[in-house]
Chains A and B, each alone.
Chain A
């Protein structure tokens, strides 16, 4: 069964907005599966041939990169029209990426600092995730995305099952792998408890703390974790820096970054219950 000769192969396209190409490279990095996938899926555009969408329709489009120029905005609107399933891949497309850190800053100043002739450079004031502009049907997170999750997604597409992409903390993978918690045993700040896993708890396995490539998980309790960082001696602005990374623009990281002034060049904007205050006046207990 599966895909018999009579069933046309799904048409798949890959679209690149503002990104490093790493996520679409993951498709080429599926060394063991690439040819088998190419036999079952018609990869028609990879990467897209023209800056203007002139071909389509697609069954599936994988979109990498954040929307950062007026042209890309037009492009993603057209992609949405042409695609049955629009899937964002990677931190740039799902959360805005590292370039979204500029969203806290004054854009023109930014542009002038980098380019001698800023008037030559056409970009939007902010770098936004794709879902801010069009409806997204599914997302593969990560910086870059995970090969296992990509294969699982493609397989699920072909077999008709729900893709197994669990939304749980990196800690779950650490503990399944038998890794020792870098926070508890070594006092290294780690974003694992608030970050969705998918990388197989890579960084704790390399003796460092997680820096949230896969972005915030469901109900991420960033207030409690940042309080803990501050309680153990990290200055609040440094705690904010930790969250102001590749997925820092996604909520609830975004609000915390704003509150703590995590993006260099911004100041902290404390609200009613700022992390620094609550760290000082924690309700009863041994800590």
Chain B
């Protein structure tokens, strides 16, 4: 029809996004003020975990799946453990279950502490990295490192080490600490709780880009506890409410060209958002009273549900929640008589999920009569968020086109980082190339 002149095109290439099973790049094509293309490319070398676990014993599988992620190994261990315990019909002792929550709480404190202070706050404050931020505001960065350290120490106490804890096995744990060992963590956690509150006050003051949109928030929800490794899979708008094993009835994975990660969509092909924003919205009533009160004081609940940049506040709320819950668990702790329940292997299949700091990590496991794994499906949270990240970038990019190139680039990075795709470089990772006239 009409021959159009080559459109004014700006291509944003975002390189070095990590933790979508590794690294990724973003390619946006903007034409005439509208984003015509947004593609998130993953080029992390595939490690084939779903094949590596076939034929292995469930306890060895728990050690293996931790290695899917160095920052949230517990998410993978707990999701897998939940599935195996479902297949083998194992009820974990309540005190041991509380210890698992404690271990996972340590992971939250460490992961959120890392993200808020070292990865995301510099964006809001205009620094290229946390190291640079520390030159002007050393105390702030030190507070973040101290919080992170408490999370790590908690993981060391309950799990052996923070990265790839060694203590989780099917049926419970290998080793349960004494009451004295846990009580020794209490003073540090009490300090951490104060620091977590200060963190939320701190981030609540930030200027977040005004980017609100309708989004389908999804997370676990449990009748009595803040969702962690049990419950139902629900959406904030109520349209999704399924048993934890039924993920596949509503969601599915797709393999897109240029990506080594599988994208997830709803059955109708829609994107959705997992993570702290989803949880804080869906399970606000299950937050620890101290965290709930702090959330209310910020007045940011609505923003958290609609503006991805405010996930930093949701993380602040969860930091408070998990410091408080950890203290409660320790105060109520009685050393259980045995660290794990014995179990009998049987053939079966089960799906299970747990809430990694960055969202629901869902697994499906199948075993043979000896209990060995015959099939595994592992759906990480960040690959589920990918579609929504792409959608957000497509919708947000027009708002920053008016800024200078450098600023626009930083804003796009900040948006990606609000989804907490694990380690992202604190330095510039977005390469922006301008094509066209």
- A contacts, CB < 8 Å to B: 16-26, 28-29, 31-32, 34-35, 38, 43, 45-51, 65-66, 68-69, 71-72, 97-99, 101-102, 105, 110-111, 113-117, 120-121, 123, 127, 143-144, 199, 202-203, 205-208, 211, 213, 241, 245-246, 264-265
- 12 further A-B contacts with Cβ under 8 Å, apart from A47-B16, A208-B166, are A21-B70, A25-B70, A29-B162, A29-B163, A31-B149, A51-B23, A111-B46, A113-B50, A115-B255, A123-B45, A127-B45, A144-B163
**Partner of A113 from B51, B149, B175 at Cβ < 8 Å:** B51
CB distance from B377 to the nearest CB of A (A): 10
How many angstroms from the CA of A22 to the CA of B111 in the assembled complex?
12
**Which chain B positions have C-beta within 8 A of A246?**
67
Asked whether A21 lies within 8 Å of B45 as measured between CB atoms, the reply is no
**Partner of B16 from A48, A206, A245 at Cβ < 8 Å:** A48
How many angstroms from the CA of A116 to the CA of B263 in the assembled complex?
12
Known A35-B134, A43-B131; contact A98-B64, beta-carbon cutoff 8 A: yes
Asked whether A98 lies within 8 Å of B67 as measured between CB atoms, the reply is yes
Known A43-B131, A116-B255, A117-B255; contact A207-B63, beta-carbon cutoff 8 A: no
- Which one of B18, B46, B60 has the greatest number of beta carbons of chain A within 10 Å? B46
Known A22-B67, A23-B70, A120-B258; contact A31-B146, beta-carbon cutoff 8 A: yes
**Which chain A positions have C-beta within 8 A of B70?**
19-25, 144
Closest to B428 in A: A49
**Partner of A50 from B15, B262, B423 at Cβ < 8 Å:** B15
Asked whether B45 lies within 8 Å of A17 as measured between CB atoms, the reply is yes
Asked whether B149 lies within 8 Å of A98 as measured between CB atoms, the reply is no
CB distance from A177 to the nearest CB of B (A): 13
Does B348 sit within 8 A of A, measured CB to CB? no
Closest to A210 in B: B166
Chain B 63-96 interface residues, beta-carbon cutoff 8 Å to A: 63-64, 67-71, 73
Closest to A38 in B: B131
Asked whether A101 lies within 8 Å of B52 as measured between CB atoms, the reply is yes
Closest to A265 in B: B55
Tally of A-B Cβ pairs under 8 angstroms: 184
A-B contact pairs, 11 of them (CB 8 A): A21-B70, A21-B422, A28-B148, A50-B15, A51-B16, A51-B43, A99-B52, A114-B46, A127-B47, A199-B161, A206-B175
Asked whether A144 lies within 8 Å of B16 as measured between CB atoms, the reply is no
Task: For the complex of A and B, list the 3 residue pairs with the smallest distance between their C-beta atoms, beginning with the closest.
Answer: A264-B55, A22-B70, A18-B45
Does B358 sit within 8 A of A, measured CB to CB? no
Asked whether B47 lies within 8 Å of A28 as measured between CB atoms, the reply is no
CB distance from B170 to the nearest CB of A (A): 13
Does B145 sit within 8 A of A, measured CB to CB? yes
**Which chain B positions have C-beta within 8 A of A34?**
145
How many angstroms from the CA of A110 to the CA of B52 in the assembled complex?
9
**Which chain A positions have C-beta within 8 A of B343?**
none
Does B138 sit within 8 A of A, measured CB to CB? yes
How many angstroms from the CA of A25 to the CA of B73 in the assembled complex?
12
CB distance from A149 to the nearest CB of B (A): 13
How many angstroms from the CA of A41 to the CA of B394 in the assembled complex?
39
Asked whether A31 lies within 8 Å of B16 as measured between CB atoms, the reply is no
How many angstroms from the CA of A69 to the CA of B23 in the assembled complex?
13
Does B180 sit within 8 A of A, measured CB to CB? no
**Partner of A203 from B68, B152, B166 at Cβ < 8 Å:** B166
Asked whether B51 lies within 8 Å of A114 as measured between CB atoms, the reply is yes
Asked whether B67 lies within 8 Å of A241 as measured between CB atoms, the reply is no
- B32-59 CB mask vs A (1 if < 8 Å, else 0) is 0000000000011111111110111100
How many angstroms from the CA of A55 to the CA of B429 in the assembled complex?
13
Asked whether B46 lies within 8 Å of A49 as measured between CB atoms, the reply is no
**Partner of A265 from B54, B146, B167 at Cβ < 8 Å:** B54
**Partner of A26 from B163, B255, B372, B422 at Cβ < 8 Å:** B163
CB distance from B349 to the nearest CB of A (A): 17
Asked whether A21 lies within 8 Å of B18 as measured between CB atoms, the reply is yes
- B140-154 CB mask vs A (1 if < 8 Å, else 0) is 011001101100100
CB distance from A236 to the nearest CB of B (A): 15
Does B286 sit within 8 A of A, measured CB to CB? no
How many angstroms from the CA of A199 to the CA of B257 in the assembled complex?
41
How many angstroms from the CA of A69 to the CA of B428 in the assembled complex?
25
**Which chain B positions have C-beta within 8 A of A116?**
254-255, 262
Asked whether A28 lies within 8 Å of B163 as measured between CB atoms, the reply is no
Asked whether B48 lies within 8 Å of A99 as measured between CB atoms, the reply is yes
**Which chain B positions have C-beta within 8 A of A202?**
160-161, 166
Known A18-B45, A23-B70; contact A49-B15, beta-carbon cutoff 8 A: yes
**Which chain B positions have C-beta within 8 A of A26?**
163
How many angstroms from the CA of A207 to the CA of B339 in the assembled complex?
10
Does B425 sit within 8 A of A, measured CB to CB? yes
**Which chain B positions have C-beta within 8 A of A45?**
427
Known A203-B166, A206-B167; contact A28-B118, beta-carbon cutoff 8 A: yes
**Which chain B positions have C-beta within 8 A of A31?**
145-146, 148-149, 152
**Which chain B positions have C-beta within 8 A of A51?**
15-16, 23, 25, 43
**Partner of B423 from A25, A121, A208, A213 at Cβ < 8 Å:** A25
**Which chain B positions have C-beta within 8 A of A213?**
164
- Which one of A46, A98, A120 has the greatest number of beta carbons of chain B within 10 Å? A98
**Partner of B67 from A20, A121, A207, A264 at Cβ < 8 Å:** A20
CB distance from A244 to the nearest CB of B (A): 9
Known A28-B114, A38-B131; contact A111-B48, beta-carbon cutoff 8 A: yes
Closest to A67 in B: B45
Known A99-B48, A120-B258, A207-B339; contact A22-B152, beta-carbon cutoff 8 A: no
Known A35-B141, A205-B160; contact A21-B47, beta-carbon cutoff 8 A: no
Does B241 sit within 8 A of A, measured CB to CB? no
**Partner of B19 from A21, A23, A46, A208 at Cβ < 8 Å:** A21
**Which chain B positions have C-beta within 8 A of A35?**
131, 134, 138, 141-142, 145
CB distance from A240 to the nearest CB of B (A): 11
Closest to A102 in B: B48
**Which chain A positions have C-beta within 8 A of B69?**
20-22
